[in-house]
Amino acid sequence: MSHALTKNLDKALISIVAAWLTSRAIVLITMWLTHTFATDHYREFTSQGFRLWDAGWYQQIITVGYEQVGQESFRFFPGFVLIGRLVTQFLGGNEVWASLLVANVFSLVTFLLLYRLIVSEGGSARRAKRTVWVFSVFPASFVLIWGYAESMFLTFTLLFFLSLRKQNWKVAAIFACMAGFTRPTGALLFFAAISASGFSLWRGNLKERAEQLLACLGGPLGVAIFLLWSNSRTSENWLPFTVQREFRGGFIDPFRRVWSGFSEILNLEADAFHVLVALFFLVLLVVIWKRLPRQYFWYSFVTFVVSVSAENLNSLERYLMTAFPFVMALVILSEGKRSEKLIYPISALGLTGLTVISFLGIYVP
């Protein structure tokens, strides 16, 4: 039996690494072809390579720090920056290679943890492998290859959910704090913790209740640490949030925002694509409610609400992808149907398309 188990694990590992390599091949080939055939106007963007968009911001902060880059840099949380700065020392000070190495190593770890989590939740090995493959070619997953913080955030989030399943509240608190220190949406793990099986602040001894409370507050604590540090370094309080508001606009009632999106679709306005994506993710949210444990639903729900509660819906696809239960729901939804085989090429086409328009500077990832 142990030999059979080892053989199955080896097959799973091979499949996971193959998915990881495939997504990188798709993105790198797409970037090369896009640059090759781009006009002079668009080569202004493609010539920047892996310095585009948020990756460039992270690389600048890794090199010279927040205050030297300017106030806008404070919207990028420091988890990825600190690890990137450490790795840079071993790569001759090359911040681009450091950010790529960190992002891609954490991407591989993300896929391994996603497989483990699905199996631990009672899913079959086949479903777990399919989910990893779909995630690897998910349209917004090119940011897991560029120097973005999403792969690190996903790693900490998956470790948090694995800890919740084992009801290891202390470890869950640590990973939640690390997630909050990497991206502000780490604070939303609070809702996963309070809805997890076995959670209760009214049962158990004082030590157990204290550990559960820490698991709830770990994510918000990670966010608060950076906020307090930024307050001490700048003249403006809560700068990470106020700067971000300049890019995404102020808070809007999410239901009103989605409703207003219908007119944007009819008039083919700029945010029409994002509104269609939001409506599709609403369908996936129903699947999560029906098929996955409650902590997955509430984490996905609050992530969805926060993501669509803005005037500007740029990067919506990336924000929603970090709530990994959406990808799990997509795989469940397609099981046993004709779409089961079509999901791979369709996702890969979406990955290719978003990579192209992001690399050309048309789409904001």
- Long-range contacts of residues 234-237, Cβ cutoff 8 Å, at least 24 apart: 234/67, 234/71, 234/74, 236/71
Residue whose pair of structure tokens reads 């999560």 in the numeric block? 288
> 251 - beta bridge partners?
310
Query: Phi and psi at residue 38, in whole multiples of 5°?
Result: -70, 150
Q: Which residues pair with 96 in a beta bridge?
A: none
Residue 258 pLDDT = 64
- Alpha carbons within 13 angstroms on the beta-carbon side of residue 326 total 26
For every residue of 41-108, which 3-state class applies, written as one string? HHHHHHCCHHHCHHHHHHHHHHHHCHHHHCHHHHHCCHHHHHHHHHHHCCCCCCHHHHHHHHHHHHHH
Residue 310, strand partner residues: 251
The answer to whether 193 and 176 have CB atoms below 8 angstroms apart is: yes
3-state helix, strand, coil in the chain (%, to 5): 80, 0, 20
The distance of Cα 177 from the centroid of its chain, to the nearest Å, equals: 16
For 247, the token pair is: 């890019």
pTM metric for this prediction: 0.94
Alpha-carbon dihedral 16, 19, 24, 30, rounded to 10 degrees = -170
CA separation for the pair 73, 118 (Å, rounded): 36
> Can you give the pLDDT of all 365 residues of the chain as single tens digits?
445 545 566 678 999 999 999 999 999 999 999 999 999 899 988 999 999 999 999 999 999 999 899 889 999 999 999 999 999 999 999 999 999 999 999 999 999 999 999 999 999 999 999 999 999 999 999 999 999 999 999 999 999 999 999 999 999 999 999 999 999 999 999 999 999 988 777 777 788 888 889 999 999 999 999 999 999 888 788 888 888 776 666 667 666 666 665 566 655 566 677 788 888 999 999 999 999 999 999 999 999 999 988 777 778 899 999 999 999 999 999 987 677 788 999 999 999 999 999 999 998 88
292 by DSSP, 3-state: which? coil
**pLDDT tens sequence across 244-295:** 776 666 667 666 666 665 566 655 566 677 788 888 999 999 999 999 999 9
Residue 255's pLDDT is what? 65
